[in-house]
Chain A
Amino acid sequence: MNASNTPFDYFPLILMFIVAAGFVVFTMVVTHWLGPKRKTKIKLDTFECGIESKGNARVPFSIKYFLVAILFVLFDVEVIFMYPWAVNFKELGALGIIEMFSFIALLLVGFYYIIAKKALTWED
C-alpha cells in the first residue's frame, strides 16, 4: 500500500467543489443581473405548444419507470458487490471465480425472471 491512501486524498475534491460551485453561483447571479426583465403573465406561463396551458404537470406517470428504478437499485447493489471481487481477482484465484460465478448465476436467474415476466417490455 502506498502512502497516498488517506482521507487527505479527498481534500482536493473539496477545492474542486469550491471552484465549480463558485463558478455556478457567480454565473447564476450574473445572468440574473444582465438579462432584461420584461415579465408578462403570458410569458411566465408554462409552454404548451402555443395553446393555453391546462392544468399542471403534477400528474402520476407510468409505473414502468418506477419498476425500472426499483430494478436499478437492486442491480446497482449487485454491481457494487462485484467491485471488491474484481480488484482482488488475481489474489482470490479459482475459489473466487467459483464464488462470483455462483453469485452471477443467481443474478441471472433473477434477470431471467424479470425478462420472462415481461417487466421490462415497454409495449403491451
Chain B
Amino acid sequence: MLLNIPLTQYLFYFLSFVALLCGLMVVFSKNPVHSVLYLVLTFFAIAGHYILLNAQFLAIVHIVVYAGAIMVLFLFVIMLLNLNHDSEPHKNMLLKGAAVLAGGLLLMVLTGSLKGAETLAMHQPLNTQVGLIKNLGTVLFKDFLFPFEISSILLLGAMVGAVMIGKKEIK
C-alpha cells in the first residue's frame, strides 16, 4: 500500500480543521459573499473526507451538487439582495434567542443520533470499494429502487414549486 495509515490521519485532522474553521468563518464573516465562499471551502474539505473513505462518487457529487450548483444558487440569491451596506443589519434579541435555541436543538439531535448509531469498524477504509460509482449504482438500482423512484417525484414537486414561486414574482 502506498498510503500508510498515519498520513491519512494527518490528512483527516487537516481536513477537519479546515472544515471547522471555514464553517465558523461562514457564521462570523460580515460579507455574505465571503460566507458563501467559506461554505464552498467547507464542502471541499468534506469532499476530501469522502475521498479518504474512498467514497469517490459521493465526494464528486458533493462538489458538483453542493459546491457547484446549490452554492451558485446561494450566490445568485445574495446578489439579488440589495447589498449597499456590506454588514448585516442587527437583529433584535428575540430573533437571536430563537436562533440560538434552534441551533442548540439541532446540535442535540445530531449528537443524540450519532451516539445512538453503531460505530462501524473501519480499520481498512482504503480497501473498501463500496463507494465507487459502479458498486453504488448496483446497490441504488437493485436494493434502493423504491426510494430512488420516490426521489424523482420529490424533484418533480420541487420543480413545480420553484416555477410557482418564480412566476408569481413576475406578475
Residue numbers of A with Cβ under 8 A of B are: 1, 5-8, 10-11, 56, 58-61, 63-67, 69-74, 76-78, 80-81, 83-85, 87-88, 91-92, 96, 99, 102-103, 106-107, 109-110, 113-114, 117-119, 124
Q: List 8 A-B contacts (CB under 8 A).
A: A7-B52, A59-B82, A61-B80, A80-B64, A83-B137, A106-B152, A119-B163, A119-B166
Report if B162 contacts A (CB, 8 A).
Answer: yes
Residues A99 and B134 in contact, CB atoms below 8 Å apart: no
CA distance A5 to B132 in the complex (A): 8
Q: Which of B78-130 contact A (CB under 8 A)?
A: 79-84, 126-127, 129
Residues B3 and A7 in contact, CB atoms below 8 Å apart: yes
Residues A8 and B137 in contact, CB atoms below 8 Å apart: no
Partner of B163, one of A67, A81, A92, A106: A67
B residues less than 8 Å from A99 (CB atoms) = 141, 145, 148-149
Residue numbers of B with Cβ under 8 A of A are: 2-3, 8, 51-54, 56-57, 61, 64-65, 68-70, 72-73, 76-77, 79-84, 126-127, 129, 132-134, 136-138, 140-142, 145, 148-149, 151-153, 155-156, 158-160, 162-163, 166-167, 169-170
CA distance A84 to B2 in the complex (A): 28
Can you name the residue of chain A whose Cβ is closest to the Cβ of B68? A76
Residues A58 and B65 in contact, CB atoms below 8 Å apart: no
Q: A21: shortest Cβ distance to chain B, in Å?
A: 13
CA distance A52 to B158 in the complex (A): 45
B residues less than 8 Å from A69 (CB atoms) = 72-73, 76
Which of B81, B153, B166 neighbours the largest number of chain A CB atoms within 10 Å of its CB? B166
Partner of A6, one of B3, B82, B138: B3
Partner of B82, one of A8, A58, A91, A110: A58
Which of A7, A70, A119 neighbours the largest number of chain B CB atoms within 10 Å of its CB? A7
Given contacts A60-B82, A114-B163, contact A87 B155 (CB under 8 A): no
Residues B80 and A73 in contact, CB atoms below 8 Å apart: no
